[in-house]
Each structure stands twice: as C-alpha cells, then as structure tokens.
Amino acid sequence: MDGGEKTSRREFLKLATATTVAASASTHFLEADEPPAAAEPRVGLATIGLGGQGTGDTKAALKTPGVELVAVADLYDGRLARAKETFGESVATTRDYKEVLARPDVDAVIIATPDHWHVPIALAALAAGKHVYCEKPMVQRWEEGQSLIDAQKKSGKVVQVGSQRVSSILYLKARDLLASGAIGELNMIDAWWSRNSAIGAWQYSIPPDASPATVDWERYLGRAPRRPYDPVRFFRWRNYQDYGTGVAGDLFVHLFSGVHVITGSLGPTRAMSTGGLRFWKDGRDVPDVMLGLSTTRRPNATPRSTSPSA
C-alpha cells in the first residue's frame, strides 16, 4: 500500500528492514539510489502469532542489522516459552496483543495469526502508530479490504502483506524471460498445488499440554462464533471457515500472485471452482477445491518493480 506524503523514503526503508520479504529489496534501493547511511536505524519489532510462519518471519527479520525483537504475543503458553528460549529472556511475552501495541519501543509488528485476526490487529496496530507486516491473506472477508486500505492511508504507516512469490527471485527471473521474449509467446499458464499428505491437509500436531489452562481460547475466538474449548480448532484452524480462508487463502493466493508477477496480469477475469470433502472427513468445513482460471495479460505490460512496494 502507498503510504502517501506522510511516509518518508527513510521511514519506508526503516520498515523494510523489519520485514521478511523486503530485506533484499531495501538493500537494492540503497545501493542503486543513494549511499548507505552511516548506521542502520533501530527497529523495535514485535511478533503477534509465533507459530511456524511467525517464527520464520521473525528469524528472517532479525538477520537485518538494526532489528531488535522487543515482544511476542501468542495465545498458547508453549509458544511464549519458546520465544524466550529462541530469542532471549529479554523478549517480553504476553497473551494480549494490545499490550504489545501499547509499547513505545515497538515500531513495527509482524502479524502471523489465524486469518480472522488479521484485520482487527492490523487496524489496531495502525491506530497505535505501528508499521505492519501481515501474513497473507490480508483479509478473511473481502468486504474488510477497504477499511484496512483507508486506515493505512490515514495513518501514513507502511502496510506490507507477505506473499512469497512476489519476492521470489525465481518468479522475477521468469518475468524477465517472458518480457524479453526468451521463452516465446505465452499461450497458457497451468498452475496447481499437490499436497497429498496429512500435513499438507493441515493436520498439524497438537501439543500434549494443550488445555484450557495453556490456551487462551476465549481471546482466540474473537469475533468467531462462541464454542467450547477445542484444541483441534485452535491448532488446525485452517480447516474451519470461522478462522481461515481455506485452500483459496492458504494456497491459491500464491498461484495468483505468481502469475501476476510473471505476466503483469490483472486477472482472473473468469474463475470456476469445484470441490468437496472427499477424504478428510474429520469435522472440518473447508473442502478440497479444484480451481480453473482465465486471466488477461495487461496490454503492453511493464514488468513489475523489485521494490517492496510492488
């Protein structure tokens, strides 16, 4: 999202150092456009949601000079303990993300929660004056998108949505090969996911100590329907529409973004999907889905920039 006049170039670069996919691009900016600063600015970083993706994002961000992990929020006590083991005892831990946003030493946050918390936490972070790196999908419900866009413009802070293929050097190379004519005329793109395993079907492990005492179930539900404590819904949340976006938000977004990077497409212009609960009949309400797409390449498309704002 564009930060407008309120977001300085220096501020943008400052946030870029605290995000996963933007680190290499921010370095490119500095090398290409201006001499490096004498010292990197300190970025106080907090991670909200320290599961697999949140941990990976945090470790990647900390490889950039000047980034300091200040705090971690998570609703499972085991992850809070792991945060201190992994990142040091000085890292503050809490179940309440609002405590993180209230800290003046936090400049930017990584949001790596279940999808139904992306917008509420991002809006609160912007209102608190924090920059935001939010895992995809940006929203759980498409109707929420404009509210987040409006909040970002009002705040002048940077909001970046994590999307691996937008920053992948492989996809950027494919874009360049297509633009140069090296691979000829493009007629069709066939994209798919094959995740025929239990882990691929989101059957993530459930810690043996998971209980109402170690999991903040009521806080986790948020705006979702009220239900009794259920560790399966907490640790395997992608299986349920109450908390996630199913195959579309977890996987198809990668196919879309990859195609967009390579081709400059504005698509899809048409889409068809079909699916059902064919194998994993374990109480989930998110079906297996097959998707067909028809996309249109932007006329005289200009290859996308490698900058973080692309």
pLDDT at 2 over 80: no
What is the per-residue pLDDT for 188?
83
pLDDT at 249 over 50: yes
What is the per-residue pLDDT for 147?
96
pLDDT band at 302 (very low <50, low <70, confident <90, very high): very low
What is the per-residue pLDDT for 232?
97
Mean pLDDT of 127-139: 96
Percentage above 70 pLDDT, the chain: 80
- Beta carbons within 10 angstroms of residue 242's beta carbon: 19
Separation CA 267–CA 262 (nearest Å): 12
Q: In one letter, which amino acid is 259?
A: V
Mean pLDDT of 115-123: 97
Q: Whole-prediction pTM value?
A: 0.80
- Picking from 235, 271, 252, 219, the residue whose alpha carbon sits closest to that of residue 73 is 219
pLDDT at 205 over 80: yes
Least confident piece of the model among 74-83, 100-109, 155-164, 296-305: 296-305
Mean pLDDT of 236-247: 94
What is the per-residue pLDDT for 86?
97
Mean pLDDT of 152-181: 93
pLDDT band at 244 (very low <50, low <70, confident <90, very high): very high
pLDDT at 10 over 70: no
Residue 245 in tokens: 């976006």
What is the per-residue pLDDT for 275?
79
pLDDT digit string, tens, across residues 39-65: 668 999 999 999 999 999 999 999 999
Percentage above 90 pLDDT, the chain: 60
Mean pLDDT of 4-9: 43
What is the per-residue pLDDT for 290?
58
What is the per-residue pLDDT for 187?
86
Domains of the chain: 4-162 (3.40.50.720), 169-294 (no CATH)
The pLDDT mean for the chain works out to 84
What is the per-residue pLDDT for 6?
43
What is the per-residue pLDDT for 297?
52
pLDDT at 68 over 90: yes
pLDDT at 181 over 70: yes
Q: How would you write the chain as a 3-class SS string? A: CCCHHHCCHHHHHHHHCCCCCCHHHHHHHHHHHCCCCCCCCCEEEEEECCCHHHHHHHHHHCCCCCEEEEEEECCEHHHHHHHHHHHCCCCEEECCHHHHHCCCCCCEEEECCCHHHHHHHHHHHHHCCCEEEEECCCCCCHHHHHHHHHHHHHHCCCEEEECHHHHCHHHHHHHHHHHHCCCCCCCCCCCCCCCCCCCCCCCCCCCCCCCCCCECHHHHHCCCCCCCCCHHHHHCHHHCCCCCCHHHHHHHHHHHHHHHHHHCECCCCEEEEEEECCCCCCCCCCCEEEEEEECCECCCCCCCCCCCCC
Mean pLDDT of 156-169: 91
pLDDT at 193 over 60: yes
pLDDT at 199 over 90: no
Q: Residue 178: enclosing H or E segment and its boundaries?
A: helix 169-180
